[in-house]
Chain A
Amino acid sequence: MRDIVCEILSNKEVGENIFEMVLLADRVDDIQGGQFVNIQLPNKEMLLRRPFCLCDFDEVNKTFTICYAVVGEGTKVLSGLAVGQQLKATLPLGNGFLLSGKYNKIMLIGGGMGSAVLPAIARRNKDVECVCYLGFANKGKVVLEEKLREVCSKVVVATDDGSYGESGFVTNIAKADLDSLGVDAIFCCGPEVMYRAIKKTFADVNIPIFVSLEQRMGCGIGACLVCNCKIEREGKQGYYRVCKDGPVFELKEVVL
């Protein structure tokens, strides 16, 4: 991990209130899928850096991408930043999702903005076949489909209201296809309600299921113990750090 100054190369609205920002870094070859970047806003009143998953990267041009929805004051400021603006950023942070040598074919499931974690996972693990299931509330919220088609052998998009792609909850659609796909692990990123649904719907599944957690963060590097999550290991529940022990955990050990 290191603290660098990045330059904004683009910052475009790609869905309803959803933006993709491409930043120029010193290097991106050390980025693993599932890791995140902690970005400092130019507004000095907002002391905390904002953590975003490293959505995608380009090793030739040394750029990385974040994809974010405007949900609060911080993302509002971010969405208004112009090309050429320089931002301080600490990266890459957290434990990524390492696949090579472990799995041959995996299923990626994204729920809403959780889908932003998936492209980097597939791009970093080119020897692993990735099949991807994305769920969004409606057509206006659908993002990253094209990017994921570049790196996955199959991409299925579903919307809750049926306004785009398949109709219904993506967890149910993914579960229906699971047996025919022959995957040996599942990685999912979405809201907590989705993890609860997966715990229930995928209860009879015997392959490992990994999820990425989020929590309000302080330092982002593991020192302040602010971003805690409850994990059960060896029969004992305890608090772990989302930023350093995670953000990727096996679903069966996450206490929801």
Chain B
Amino acid sequence: MQRRTSIRVERGGIVSNLKVNIAGVEFKNPIITASGTFGFGREFNNFYPLSDLGGICTKGLTLMPRDGNPAPRIAETKSGIINSVGLQNPGIEHYLATDDKWLAEQDTVVIANIAGASLDDYIAMGEKINESNAQMVELNISCPNVKAGGMAFGVLPASVEQVTRAVKNVCKKPVITKLSPNVSCIADNAKAAQNGGADGISLINTLSAMAVNYKTRKPILFNNNGGLSGACVKPVALKMVWDCYNAVDIPIIGLGGITSYTDVLEFMICGARAVQVGTYNFTEPMGASQIAKDLENYVKEQDMDINDLVGSLILNK
């Protein structure tokens, strides 16, 4: 493969570039905020213009409004948090009526994250989301399939492929399948998403986890268990992104514990074409914007095309 820098040298000099392209959608920079950590963007718009970001991924949307789980929904662990919100959201109709248009005006790519409790739900959501202004769709397949005994759609490669294909058949927008790390071989699930027609994959979703209070002998979360995220999961995520990069040809969006522009560089070196910033939004309300700025400075300083990093990992012999 010819390196982009050499192409640009042939055209007369290197010009630093931060833009990335995923399934035909151009992002001004590779920083996207992760679903469930950023609402629908309005709160963070108090701190910085959303146009600082390459994109934002909405809170997970379902056909009908969902109340979510009782409190407590969050527990802090060393360098991480465990959450169990239970997909509380106002439903797709409410989103289309109140947030969709506003988000479309923020000069950033909007990725609608959709979820369901059955294959029919996903198909209905895949159709419904065609009405939105979102440029892309991200499939949350970590939800339990209520019609198939409650195992999450994202566990077995066959169901990853099935749900991806079902949505691809009805959805006119590029579809990104978000992979769960709670599986035996994530590369197999990446291939399954590709076979199902996914235009890209994002990983990792949260790691299944529990926090316990030794005094009460009870789990801290009402729901007993939840999903671990934050800086502590980064090494797991990097390895999984690299494994998937070597298994599929479709673009990868990497996430898991990103708190700095150097983390972004590491994810891209392991094969991510873009990244998502999640838990760090809680620690630093300006965090995602700052990472985008730091990355821009680095790319200018190095006079490089950020795309040249993708998958450039040099393994030790």
Partner of A40, one of B59, B80, B283: B283
Interface majority SS (helix, strand, loop, mixed), chain B: loop
Contact digits for B267-302, partner A, Cβ 8 Å, 1 yes 0 no: 000000000000101111110000000000000000
Q: Which residues of B contact A40 (CB under 8 A)?
A: 283-284
Contact A216 B71 (CB under 8 A): yes
Among the interface residues B37, B73, B78, B231, which one has the most CB atoms of the partner chain A within 10 A? B73
- Nearest CB of chain A from residue B213's CB, rounded to whole Å: 11
Report the minimal beta-carbon distance from B250 to chain A, rounded to whole angstroms: 29
Of B71, B281, B284, most A-chain CB atoms within 10 Å: B71
Q: Which of B44, B46, B59, B73 contacts A226 (CB 8 A)?
A: B73
Known: A219-B37, A224-B36, A225-B59. A48 touches B88 (CB 8 A): no
15 example contacts (A-B, Cβ-Cβ < 8 A) are as follows A3-B286, A44-B79, A47-B79, A47-B231, A48-B76, A48-B282, A219-B43, A221-B44, A222-B39, A223-B38, A224-B83, A224-B85, A224-B282, A228-B70, A244-B43
- Select which of A47, A219, A227 is within 8 A of B80 by beta carbon: A47
Q: Name 6 extra pairs, CB < 8 A, besides A47-B80, A222-B43, A228-B73.
A: A47-B81, A215-B71, A221-B43, A227-B73, A228-B71, A229-B71
Distance (Å) between the CB of B261 and the closest chain A CB? 17
- A226 / chain B contacts, CB cutoff of 8 Å: 73-74, 83, 85
Point out the residues of chain B lying under 8 angstroms from A218, CB to CB.
74, 81, 83, 282
Give Cα A219–Cα B76 distance, bound, in whole angstroms: 12
**Secondary structure type dominating chain A contacts:** loop
Count how many chain A residues have C-beta atoms less than 8 Å from C-beta atoms of the other chain. 31
- Minimum CB–CB distance for B45 against chain A, Å: 10
* Binary interface encoding of chain B residues 67-106 relative to chain A, with 1 for a CB under 8 A from any of its CBs, else 0: 1101111111011110101001000000000000000000
- The answer to whether B67 touches A239, judged by C-beta atoms less than 8 angstroms apart, is yes
Asked if B230 is at the interface (CB within 8 A of a chain A CB), the reply is yes
Q: B74 touches which one: A3, A46, A216, A223 (CB < 8 A)?
A: A216
Q: Which of B72, B73, B88, B282 meets A49, CB within 8 Å?
A: B282
- Tell me if A238 counts as interface (CB < 8 A to partner B): yes
Contacts of B73 in A (CB 8 A): 216, 225-228
Residues of B within 8 A of A224 (CB): 36-37, 39, 74, 83, 85, 281-282
Known pairs A216-B71, A219-B285, A225-B85; A2 contacts B279 (CB<8 A): no
In the complex, which residues 1-49 of chain A have their Cβ closer than 8 Å to any Cβ of chain B?
1-3, 40, 44-49
Quote the shortest CB–CB distance from B283 to chain A (angstroms): 5
Q: How far is the CB of A254 from chain B (nearest CB, A)?
A: 13
In the A-B complex, the 5 residue pairs with the smallest Cβ-Cβ separation, listed nearest first, are A223-B39, A223-B43, A226-B74, A221-B43, A219-B282
Once the chains bind, are B83 and A221 in contact (CB under 8 Å)?
no
Known: A49-B282, A228-B88, A239-B67. A2 touches B47 (CB 8 A): yes
**A53-99 interface (Cβ within 8 A of B):** 88, 90
Q: Could you tell me the distance between the alpha carbons of A89 and B46 in the complex, rounded to whole angstroms?
A: 15
Verify A219–B79 contact, CB threshold 8 A: no
Q: Are B286 and A227 in contact (CB under 8 A)?
A: no
Which B residues between 34 and 62 are near A, CB-CB below 8 angstroms? 36-39, 43-44, 46-47, 59
Complex Cα gap A45–B257 (Å): 12
Residues of chain A contacted by B39 (CB below 8 angstroms): 222-225
- Say which residue of A3, A49, A229, A230 sits within 8 Å of B47 (CB atoms): A3
Do B43 and A48 have beta carbons less than 8 Å apart? no
Bound state CA distance, A176 and B73, in angstroms? Answer: 39
With both beta carbons as reference points, the residue of chain A lying nearest to B46 in the complex is identified as A1
Task: For B76, list chain A residues within 8 Å (CB).
Answer: 46-48
A188: chain B residues at CB < 8 Å are none
Expressed in whole angstroms, the minimum distance between the Cβ of B223 and any Cβ of chain A is: 12
Q: In the complex the two chains form, what is the Cα distance from A240 to B31 in whole Å? A: 30
A108 close to B (CB within 8 Å): no
Given A215-B72, A223-B44, A238-B67, the answer on whether A47 and B85 have CB atoms closer than 8 Å is no
Most central of A40, A216, A220, A227 by chain B CB within 10 Å: A216
- Bound together, the chains give a CA A155 to CA B270 distance in angstroms of 63
Distance in angstroms from A97 CB to nearest chain B CB is 21
Choice from A47, A88, A225 contacting B279 with Cβ under 8 Å: A47
Complex CA distance for A123 and B85, rounded to whole angstroms = 37
**B37 contacts A223, C-beta separation under 8 Å:** yes
Q: A47-B81, A223-B43, A239-B68 are in contact. Are A216 and B88 (CB under 8 A)?
A: no
Shortest C-beta distance, A68 to chain B (Å), equals: 17
Q: Are A3 and B285 in contact (CB under 8 A)?
A: yes
The CA-CA distance from A88 to B285 in the complex, in Å, is 11
Which residues from chain A contact B75 at a C-beta distance below 8 Å?
Answer: 216
Asked whether A227 and B283 contact (CB < 8 A) given A46-B76, A218-B81, the answer is: no
Chain B hits for A46, CB < 8 A: 76
